[in-house]
């Protein structure tokens, strides 16, 4: 029976380094059709009264910057 090389592998640190963090251009963001910014959380207080909230990548949003409150 062959030994599983992963079974004896040392534990690794699961925290992301700056190079591994998700960029706003690839993470899911939220925006409104007439808004000027995208949001990193759907629970942002700036979206509270919005009836239409879209989601996708920051690039898909067409917005040039993130909300100052959430991201």
Q: What is the pLDDT of residues 19-67, one digit of tens each?
A: 445 555 568 999 999 999 999 999 999 999 999 999 999 999 999 999 9
Top pLDDT among 54 and 10 is at 54
Domain count for the chain: 1
Q: Is residue 38 part of a domain?
A: yes
* Maximal CA-CA distance, the chain: 63
Residue 29 near residue 3, CB atoms below 8 Å? no
Q: Is residue 16 part of a domain?
A: no
Q: Is residue 69 part of a domain?
A: no
Q: Is residue 44 part of a domain?
A: yes
Q: Is residue 2 part of a domain?
A: no
Q: Is residue 52 part of a domain?
A: yes
CA–CA separation, 19 and 32 (whole Å): 30
State which residues form the domain around 46. 29-61
Top pLDDT among 11 and 52 is at 52
């Amino acid at each position: 029976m062959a030994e599983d090389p992963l079974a004896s592998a040392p534990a690794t640190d699961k925290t992301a380094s700056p190079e591994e963090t998700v960029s706003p251009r690839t993470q899911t963001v939220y925006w409104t059709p007439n808004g000027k910014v995208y949001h990193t959380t759907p629970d942002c207080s700036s979206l509270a009264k919005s009836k239409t909230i879209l989601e996708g990548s920051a690039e898909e949003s067409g917005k040039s910057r993130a909300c100052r409150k959430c991201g």
